[in-house]
Each structure stands twice: as C-alpha cells, then as structure tokens.
Amino acid sequence: MKDVQSERDERRVPLKKVGVKNIEWPLKVLDKSKGYQHTVARVSLSVDLKHYMRGTHMSRFVEVLNDLEMLSPKALEDILAKIKEKLQAESSHLEMSFPYFIWKDSPVSGLASPLKIEAIIRAEKSAESAITMGVSVPVHTLCPCSREISESGAHNQRAVVEIYVRSRKMIWFENLVEIAEKNASCPIYTLLKRPDEKFVTERAYQNAKFVEDVTRDVALELERDDRIEWYRVEVTSFESIHNHDAFACVEKGWLEDAD
C-alpha cells in the first residue's frame, strides 16, 4: 500500500511536535506505602518532524506505548528511545497525567480516607533525556488581610499547589504532596467529622497565608533539597469572595534575580 506519510514535502517547514494526544492508558504506579496502585493515565506522545517529511506514522506511537505497564524512569526512557528510532526523529516527547490517591488520617478522629491528587510526568529525549515530575495538590488557604480587618472570621477557600521538579535521585509523589500541604494554611481531607472540622478551621485561622506566602514557602523548602536540580511552583486560590482566582508562581533561579 502506498505510504503517503513518507512522501517528500517541499514547503520546508519543520514541525516541533507531531503526534497523538489524550490517549487513556491503564498504568501501575509505584506507591510509597502500598507498593503500587493502579490508575488510568492520559498520555500524549510526539516527535519533531523534519521539513522534508510530509507526515508521521501515528499508529507507531501506540505500538510503542503497548510496552508500558509500570511507570518508571527506565520505562519512560525506553519509550522515548523507541519512538525516536521508529519515527526517525531527532527528539521525542511524552506527557502524561493521572489521578493518584494518598490515604490520610483525619486530624482528630483518625479516620482514614483517600485524597486524590493529580500526578504529572513530562519527558523528552534528544541527545540526552530529561524527565520532569509534578503534582497538583488541593489545599486550604485563609486570607491574612481578611483576618486582620474583620471583627470575626476571615474568608478562606480551597487552593491548588502545583509543583514540578527535575531531580538527581528518586522523589516520591508523596514527598511533593507533603511539601505542598505543610506550607498551606491547612491540608485538605476527604473525610472530616465535627471535631476534625473544628481543628481544620481553627488551624487555618491561626495560619493565614496569601498565595504569595504559600508559593515562597514551598520554593524555600525545594531550594533546600539537594536532590532537586530544577523546580517550578504555582499556587492558585479559588477565591470565595471574589469572582476571580488569585495565583502566584516562581521558578528556580530566583536567588540570582534577588541578588
């Protein structure tokens, strides 16, 4: 059969990324406390496309993905290397996100329930490989300004802390979740009884933080971790008394900017 994708293209326009996106894929992921857990990832795979190539062979991406059962750095490197080889590309790219569950005990009653976070992996291979891992963690923030100017109470809301890192050694999703939660006004819990609710609301009131505060505190903790080569933090607050969201972000390198 005629291979139309392999026809020569005369427009001389190279493409940065060509591929498939939003493939849903069953996956086993390492779990710090339970060994592993099953999830379903949403995966995108792509390659660069040379200016003289009309198209790529989309089915080959899925063929390579067939080898992915357990998520690991080696498995990602193997997939990227095979994609480069099969599609004769100079660089290959992979992005995936998936729900990941962490079992947490309620702060007073001690009742266990799973908290869902979003895990993110971004990987690419050209001459060398680079893997970025990330988490999107729900947390609780309470406004210091609102607390200061109000006779009673303060506006508070759910927020999300996004952390992305490239590291020299193994870092668990749980490690990043812990950093996000400890630097918020208070963690989020799936199951709360009345004593737990009392604890959470009072804890947040005593620990009021702007999104700027959370972002800076998370960055400082990541800066102290020798395993981490690069990081990016973004915190978004879903404001309870405004018709907009508030956010702040920072990326490694701020020390040089501060100087």
Rounded CA gap, 215 and 221, in Å? 10
What confidence score (pLDDT) does residue 49 get? 82
User: What is the residue-averaged pLDDT of the chain?
Assistant: 93
Rounded CA gap, 44 and 36, in Å? 23
**Burial of 215 per CB tally in 10 Å (0-12, 13-18, 19+):** buried
Q: Which of 234, 238, 194 has the alpha carbon at shortest distance from 216?
A: 234
Torsion over CA: 210, 212, 215, 217 (sign): negative
Other beta carbons within 10 Å of 78: 14
- What average pLDDT score do residues 79-103 get? 94
Q: Which of 232, 251, 228, 222 has the alpha carbon at shortest distance from 168?
A: 228
Residue 246 CA: distances (Å) to CA of 39, 126, 143, 176, 237: 31, 37, 11, 22, 5
Q: What is the DSSP code string of 212-226? A: HHHHHHHHHHHHT-T
What confidence score (pLDDT) does residue 7 get? 60
What confidence score (pLDDT) does residue 15 get? 87
With 0.85 as the threshold, say if the pTM is over it: yes
Token digits of residue 199: 């604890």
What confidence score (pLDDT) does residue 66 get? 92
The pLDDT tens digits of the residues spanning 204-259 come to 999 999 999 999 999 999 999 999 999 999 999 999 999 999 999 999 998 777 76
Q: Which of 32, 160, 170 has the alpha carbon at shortest distance from 102?
A: 32
Q: Is the pLDDT of residue 55 over 70?
A: no
